[in-house]
Amino acid sequence: MPLLEGKTALVMGVANRWSIAWAVAQAVVREGARLILTYQGERQKKTAEDLGASLKASKILPCDVGRDAEVAGLFDSLKQENVRLDVLVHSLAFANREDLERPFHETSRDGFSLALDVSAYSLVKVAHHAAPLMSEGGSVVTLTYLGSTRAVKNYNIMGVAKAALEASVRYLASELGPQGIRVNAISAGPIKTASARAVKDFSSMLAAVEQKAPLRKNTDPAEVGDAAVFLASHLARGITGEVLFVDGGYNIVGL
Ligand code: NAD
């Protein structure tokens, strides 16, 4: 039996076919879930609608997580239609390009706030709104990166945002656990996506993983999709507040 049969999954963060959210969307549909997709705004609309239609998504809706009214509106519309949510995948982040290019100590106050707001606070906000719709329990999954705990060259403010995101995962898991809602993060190895290209010298990150990871290869987005299915499924019913690495083992390697 497919792992997510009878479940409804809301996947946030599809910008294009290279997005990790797209790999997750494909995996959850393969495992029998009903899919709801969200995209950031007008610029992503056509692509998200085309991709969503190809997976027979039941809804494809805009949601800019920087706007409280849009987040509230999204979940209100689902509530009005009596949607029971089982899975929420938060696969989005943002930092100003200049903050991923200049030295970290030159990060501006505004750039710091923006990265933390979009990349970390948004998880708190969407979990707050999604929890009441998870009436039979649920699974929240977000995407993080090793730069949360290591000073990865050029990852800068995004590393600080991912540290806040991972701490938020633990606080949310602790609070929502009694309602049967699990909250976990997947720490993916570097993958060539639109966001990743904003990180200066990203190709050297890919090369390092290929050379040093125990599996001697870069992360395939489909591997992240499958890990998200696992965390969303009954198989992971005992797991919450965790960061699961899907990076070919790169994080365990010493110098
Ligand atoms: P991507 O560019 O395809 O996706 C990022 C998404 O964030 C886009 O859909 C974008 O529209 C969305 N977004 C940005 N600001 C938003 C806002 N205000 N409201 C709503 N959506 C907004 O890149 P990706 O690599 O698929 O990124 C997905 C997640 O995976 C991010 O959290 C990223 O940090 C994380 N991640 C990526 C890598 C990698 O190497 N690509 C590695 C580990 C973790």
The pLDDT profile of the chain, 255 residues, written as one tens digit per residue, is 899 999 999 999 999 999 999 999 999 999 999 999 999 999 999 999 999 999 999 999 999 999 999 999 999 999 999 999 999 999 999 999 999 999 999 999 999 999 999 999 999 999 999 999 999 999 999 999 999 999 999 999 999 999 999 999 999 999 999 999 999 999 999 999 999 998 989 999 999 999 999 999 999 999 999 999 999 999 999 999 999 999 999 999 997
pLDDT in tens, 180-237: 999 999 999 999 999 999 898 999 999 999 999 999 999 999 999 999 999 999 999 9
- Nearest atom in ligand 1 to the alpha carbon of residue 22 is 26
Identified catalytic residue from 121, 155, 171, 250: 155
What is the model's pLDDT at position 206?
Answer: 96
What is the model's pLDDT at position 1?
Answer: 86
What is the model's pLDDT at position 20?
Answer: 98
Answer yes or no: 145 catalytic.
yes
Q: Tell the residue nearest (CA) to atom 27 of ligand 1.
A: 92
Ligand 1 pocket check: which of 42, 141, 193 to mutate, most ligand atoms within 8 Å of Cβ?
193
Answer yes or no: 250 catalytic.
no
Q: CA angle, corner 246, sides to 244 and 250, nearest 5? A: 110
Measured in Å, residue 140 CA sits from the centre of ligand 1 at: 16
Domains of the chain are 8-245 (3.40.50.720)
User: Within 6 Å (CB) of ligand 1, which residues are found?
Assistant: 13-15, 18-21, 40, 44, 64-66, 91-94, 118, 143-145, 188, 190-191, 193-196
pTM: 0.98
- Nearest atom in ligand 1 to the alpha carbon of residue 162 is 34
- Nearest atom in ligand 1 to the alpha carbon of residue 191 is 40
Residue closest to 182 by CA, chosen among 145, 249, 225, 130: 130
